[in-house]
Structure 1
Amino acid sequence: MTVVDAHHHLWDLTVRDQEWIDGPRLASLRRSFVLADLEAETRAAGVAATVLVETVNVAEETPELLALAAEGDVIGAVVGWTDLTAPDVADALDALRSLPGGGFLRGIRHQVQGEPDPDWLNRPDVLRGLRAVAAAGLVHDLVVLPHQLPAATRSAAAVPGLTFVLDHLGKPPIASGRHEPWAEHLRALAALPNTVCKLSGMVTEADWESWTVDDLRPYADTVIDAFGPRRLMFGSDWPVCTLAADYGEVVRSAAELTAGLTRAEQAEVCAGTARRVYRMTGTRQDAPSSPSS
């Protein structure tokens, strides 16, 4: 079955520091993860295409990610960053899409999980920026913590023309085994038709040393039930996932978690949803070289 990895990262520490990689627990991530590394992992796991996602709220990163998409053979879409609060956000999006590889830009993400204001997504300037993202034909990836899910729901309701893609199930507290209030908040978000969820990031929310697929299953079952296979997509969250599992383990665990679905439903989670949402109409070579093509 074709697999599209709808969520991974790349970074080169010789180009830019990743300040969030701090402390002994994250020490294994404190090295460069480059395109060649990704291509080796995807070949070994049988992954056909990927979505490269931003890591830091830095304007210079997105042009670099777009250039990587144009350079390699596996990246089929990029979720970048731009300042959603800027008055000229529409012009900034146009500028990104005019760059080399700009045709691969499919979405915008902001590190909302790091914002101290729990209602940041509903600030007037942010909502204006999200409407500009929608007008540009892009999606918005949501990286939020469980307590921020209600704000995400209000924001998605306020901008119904924009597809909101929830990363990492909204980071449920898997290690503790708690289910609420995360599940209630997640179902409220899923009730909106312009929302989608990534089956990603679970192993690093679980106990890194001793997690099992059964630990992940209640949370996966909740999102499968809430969103349905046509609004759910697999993502590895590589290389962050390597804190708890290698790339192949993450791919295999997702297959186990969706084994109860029909073959057609599995195909949606594995590739169909990602290809629709990120407009990856076939292989990565189908991505246009410029926004006008």
Structure 2
Amino acid sequence: MFIDTHLHLIDRKRLSYPWLSDVLALDQDWTYKDYARTARRIGIDAALHMEVDVAPDQIDAETAFVRDLMGQPDSLIVGAISSARPESAEFAEWLDGVDRAAVRGVRRVLHVVPDELSTAPQFRESIRALGAADLPFDLCVLARQIGIATELVDSAPNTQFVLDHCGVPDIAGGAFDDWASAVTKIAQRPNVSAKISGITAYTGDDWSAETLRPYVEHVILAFGWDRVVWGSDSPVCTLQSSLDQWVAITHALMAGCSEGERAKLYSGNARRIWKL
């Protein structure tokens, strides 16, 4: 069974998503009901909701939305990875008041802001504060930014980091060597884990499980079985596949692994990192 560590849900009546109009394929409601119906059929028995870059003044409202879903009978939702603004002088106050019953981690998408944002003293102080608060930080960066992410990791050695989407390799473009080198370097930091999540979104139209295999296997080799987790990145994964296809691909790629190795990737490591 899987713990989905990277589920996006979209409710346009309740929350505002400024970026959504630029991605027409995703510009619709993506409901918990629809997700749960498929998830239960394909072996997902828990999920962390990943922030969806709502308008900044709605960050806490998104957490409330997730908390409501957690309260539904037999809900699959076990927590939220919240959006935040670590660059803000108000971050410490926000962190003090965060809903710890729901929030299990924090993310600030770094590929939509200037590279230098994460190098600012305020940003790095905030990320160090996450370590003191025992909240992991998801690193959402492009492949070219993994080096910048590594510098951020080095500035906060007591904070747990999770590299999203295998570091977003350009699979469609066939890029591998530079990405692989950067992944190897960041994996040398013991406080970083990697998320094998929805990388079908970075392929072209003509792909198969074997297209993805070198990228997934390199991440596992670099990080080891104790520092990898699984996520769907639903609905972003639907840009080139479907949720059930991504689960099937995962099983195909892990067919030669031991039961213990699969258990760590599918759920065990996630339980430890986010204390589920």
- Output the TM-score relative to the length of structure 2: 0.93
**Please, which of 31, 41, 45 is the counterpart of residue 44 of structure 1?**
41
Match of 2:223 in 1: 227
In 1, Cα distance between the equivalents of 2:186 and 2:11? 35
Range with bigger deviation, 10-19 or 218-227: 10-19
| Conserved 8 A contact 1:119-1:148 | no
Match of 1:185 in 2: 182
**Please, which of 195, 198, 201 is the counterpart of residue 198 of structure 1?**
195
Range with bigger deviation, 258-267 or 68-77: 68-77
Match of 2:20 in 1: 21
Deviations 1:170-196 (Å, cap 9, x if unpaired)? 110000111021111111110000000
**Please, which of 246, 254, 257 is the counterpart of residue 253 of structure 2?**
257
Q: Kindly, what percent of the aligned residue pairs are identical?
A: 31
Moved over 3 A (4+): none
SS at match of 2:269: helix
Range with bigger deviation, 4-13 or 253-262: 253-262
In 2, Cα distance between the equivalents of 1:125 and 1:69? 32
Is 1:114 aligned with 2:112? yes
Q: How far 1:63 moved relative to its partner? A: 3.1
Deviations 1:4-62 (Å, cap 9, x if unpaired)? 11111001112234332345xx4332111122122112112121101110011522433
**Please, which of 95, 98, 105 is the counterpart of residue 96 of structure 1?**
98
Query: What one-letter code is carried by the residue in structure 2 that aligns with 1:62?
Result: T
SS at match of 2:232: coil
Match of 1:5 in 2: 4
Deviations 1:59-97 (Å, cap 9, x if unpaired)? 243332333233361011210012212223232123222
| Conserved 8 A contact 1:89-1:132 | no
**Please, which of 157, 163, 166 is the counterpart of residue 166 of structure 1?**
163
Match of 2:232 in 1: 236
**Please, which of 28, 32, 46 is the counterpart of residue 31 of structure 1?**
28
In 2, Cα distance between the equivalents of 1:196 and 1:70? 29
Match of 2:85 in 1: 83
Match of 1:267 in 2: 263
Q: How far 1:268 moved relative to its partner? A: 0.3
Match of 1:74 in 2: 76
Deviations 1:189-210 (Å, cap 9, x if unpaired)? 1000000000013100011x32
In 2, Cα distance between the equivalents of 1:229 and 1:133? 25
In 2, Cα distance between the equivalents of 1:70 and 1:196? 29
In 1, Cα distance between the equivalents of 2:105 and 2:144? 23
Q: How far 1:262 moved relative to its partner? A: 1.4
Which structure has the higher relative contact order (CA within 8 Å, separation 6+)?
A: 1
Q: How many residues align structurally?
A: 271
In 1, Cα distance between the equivalents of 2:27 and 2:63? 20
In 2, Cα distance between the equivalents of 1:75 and 1:181? 36
Deviations 1:220-268 (Å, cap 9, x if unpaired)? 0110100111100110001111111111111111111222221101110
In 2, Cα distance between the equivalents of 1:66 and 1:156? 29
Query: What one-letter code is carried by the residue in structure 2 that aligns with 1:111?
Result: V
- Output the TM-score relative to the length of structure 1: 0.88
In 2, Cα distance between the equivalents of 1:140 and 1:264? 26
Q: In 2 relative to 1, CA 134–70 (structure 1 residues): closer, same or farther, beyond 3 Å? A: farther
Match of 1:132 in 2: 129
Q: How far 1:152 moved relative to its partner? A: 0.7
In 2, Cα distance between the equivalents of 1:163 and 1:86? 20
